Structure 1
Amino acid sequence: MRHNARRPPSVVGRVLDVLGAFTSDRPVLTLSELSRRTGLPLSTTHRLAAELVSRGALQRDGDGQFRVGLWLWEVASLAPHGAQLRESAMPFLEDLYEATHQNVQLAVLDGAEVVYIERLSGRHAVNVISRVGGRLPVHATAVGLVLLAHAPADVQEQVLARPLKRYTGRTIASPEQLRRVLADVRQQGYAVSDGQIELVALSVGAAVHGPDDTVVAAISVVVPAQGTDPFTLVPAVRASARGISRALGAPRTLRLPEDVRRETHQSFH
Structure 2
Amino acid sequence: MRQYNEGSGIKVLDRAVAIARSVAAGDKTLAELSDDTELPRATAHRIATALELHHVLARNDHGEWRLGPALSGYAAGPSPKLLAAAAPVMRELVAATGESAQLYQLTGSTRTCIAAEEPESGLHNVVPVGSRLTLAAGSAARVFAAHAPIDAPFDTADLERVRVDGFAESVAEREVGLASVSAPVFGPDGTLVAVLSISGPAERLRPSPAGKWGAALKDATARLSAEL
Give the alignment's TM-score, normalised by structure 2: 0.62
Q: Is the 8 A contact 2:179 2:199 kept in 1?
A: yes
Q: Is the 8 A contact 1:108 1:216 kept in 2?
A: yes
- Per-residue deviation at 1:191? 0.5
Q: Is the 8 A contact 2:140 2:196 kept in 1?
A: yes
- Per-residue deviation at 1:206? 0.5
1:53-68 alignment, distance < 5 Å = none
- Is 1:247 aligned to 2:224, yes or no? no
Partners of 1:125 and 1:180 in 2: CA distance: 34
- Per-residue deviation at 1:179? 3.2
- Is 1:203 aligned to 2:141, yes or no? no
Partners of 1:136 and 1:79 in 2: CA distance: 19
Q: Is the 8 A contact 1:193 1:202 kept in 2?
A: yes
Partners of 2:225 and 2:140 in 1: CA distance: 15
- Is 1:238 aligned to 2:218, yes or no? yes
Partners of 1:207 and 1:200 in 2: CA distance: 24
1:121 corresponds to = 118
- Deviation string 1:125-145 (CA, Å, 9 cap, x unpaired) is 3234x3201110122122221
Partners of 1:199 and 1:84 in 2: CA distance: 34
1:33 corresponds to = none
Q: Is the 8 A contact 2:185 2:222 kept in 1?
A: yes
Alignment partner of 1:88: what SS?
Answer: helix
Letter in 1 for 2:201: P
Query: In angstroms, what is the RMSD of aligned CA positions?
Result: 2.5
Q: Is the 8 A contact 2:125 2:199 kept in 1?
A: no
Give aligned pairs, total. Answer: 155
Q: Is the 8 A contact 1:208 1:219 kept in 2?
A: yes
> Alpha carbons of 1:199 and 1:80: their partners in 2 closer, same or farther (altered >3 Å)?
closer
Partners of 1:79 and 1:211 in 2: CA distance: 17
1:262 corresponds to = none
Structure 2: gaps spanning 5 or more residues: 1-8, 11-74
- Structure showing greater Rg: 1
1:25-36 alignment, distance < 5 Å = none
Q: Is the 8 A contact 1:145 1:182 kept in 2?
A: yes
1:66-85 alignment, distance < 5 Å = 79=76, 81-85=78-82
Letter in 1 for 2:167: Y
Letter in 2 for 1:93: M
Q: Is the 8 A contact 2:102 2:197 kept in 1?
A: yes
2:160 corresponds to = 183
2:104 corresponds to = 107
Alignment partner of 1:207: what SS?
Answer: strand
- Deviation string 1:24-58 (CA, Å, 9 cap, x unpaired) is xxxxxxxxxxxxxxxxxxxxxxxxxxxxxxxxxxx
**Identity rate, percent:** 32
Alignment partner of 1:109: what SS?
Answer: strand
1:96 corresponds to = 93
